[in-house]
Structure 1
Amino acid sequence: MSSNWDDLERWMEGQQLPRGFEVLREPDWVEKFVRRMMTKSLPEIAGRITGTGAARATESKQYIGVTLKLPPGTDYGALRLFVREDAVRVEGLPGGKHELIKLPKLVKPKVCRASVKEGTLHVKLRKRAGSRAFHEHTIHW
């Protein structure tokens, strides 16, 4: 199944654009343009759309690692960490703010190790193993 960007790219290739509009045929440019326009028009939710850039997720064979650079003035005692299968939420940041970090793979929310070192929150999460077993089901005729 192709993505919407692939469909847009195929459509743009067939268009007869005037000179100077060739850049519109590049889907990466169009995506960046749309992201900038959304950020400018909706600044209060731009952080939710684009993220603050302070968080980073890394992936190994069995674990997902999340690092979040904490802003200055963070009260470490007020920090709260919530883990869902697909995201990590950190509450208690200065100004009553929170950070939602989307994860690249599903994890086991109950298996987590978190620590703060040198102003950075480090979270280690265990990936959820996908079931490789086949399950037989009946076929109704």
Structure 2
Amino acid sequence: MVKWDDMEQWMKKQQLPRGFEALKDTGWVERYVKSMMANAMPEKPAMPGSSNAETFETHHFIVIKWKLPRGVHPSSLRLFVREDRIRIEGLPEQKRETIELPKQVYPRVCRALCQDGVLQIKLRKKPFDRRYYETPIRY
């Protein structure tokens, strides 16, 4: 059983309001939780060069529209697909474009079309498996 004095000491260490003052103003709880979440979950770094890609998501597909840079001919492009991202090669100066996908996809089920200076990529999403699988426990 935790004594109230121990709780106040803990709250003092956490720089939280003392005693019943904590129950009057609940804003400190929100600030405390926000700071805990900000420290616990680091921001994901942005992928370089993926600013000109538009991503659309339907029930079964992910569609990406990527505008070709000037001077790039569609026949010089190479498209590589992974479960979590795509990579476009064949850009000027040996550059690559990497676009991270919002959901996992089947890499081999992909269609790409270049039309009017826009590369359109259609990827089939992997379904979310809700089944449980039993795993033996060692002891």
TM-score interval (norm. to shorter): 0.5 to 0.7
Structure 2: state its 5+ residue gaps. 1-32
1:44-83 alpha-carbon deviations (Å, 9 max, x no partner): xx971xx342112111111011111001111211100000
1:76-119 alpha-carbon deviations (Å, 9 max, x no partner): 11100000111010001223211000000011111000000100
Instruction: Provide runs of 4+ in structure 1 moved above 4 Å.
Output: 8-11
Structure 1: state its 5+ residue gaps. 12-30, 36-45
The SS at the match of 2:64 is strand
Quote the sequence identity (%). 43
Q: Which residue of 2 aligns with 1:17?
A: none
Tell me, yes or no, if the aligned pair for 1:75 and 1:94 is still in contact at 8 Å.
no
Q: Which residue of 2 aligns with 1:7?
A: 35
Among 54, 57, 61, which residue is 2:55 paired with? Answer: 57
Q: Which residue of 1 aligns with 2:97?
A: 99
Distance 1:97 1:10, change over 3 A: closer
Tell me, yes or no, if the aligned pair for 2:47 and 2:98 is still in contact at 8 Å.
no
Residues 29-68 of structure 1: pairs in structure 2 closer than 5 A: 48=48, 51-68=49-66
Among 97, 114, 129, which residue is 2:127 paired with? Answer: 129
Q: Which residue of 2 aligns with 1:25?
A: none
Larger Cα-atom Rg: 2
The SS at the match of 1:134 is coil
Tell me, yes or no, if the aligned pair for 2:50 and 2:98 is still in contact at 8 Å.
no
Q: Which residue of 1 aligns with 2:27?
A: none
User: Cα RMSD between the aligned structures?
Assistant: 2.7
1:22-54 alpha-carbon deviations (Å, 9 max, x no partner): xxxxxxxxx9xxx9xxxxxxxxxx971xx3421
Tell me, yes or no, if the aligned pair for 2:47 and 2:99 is still in contact at 8 Å.
no
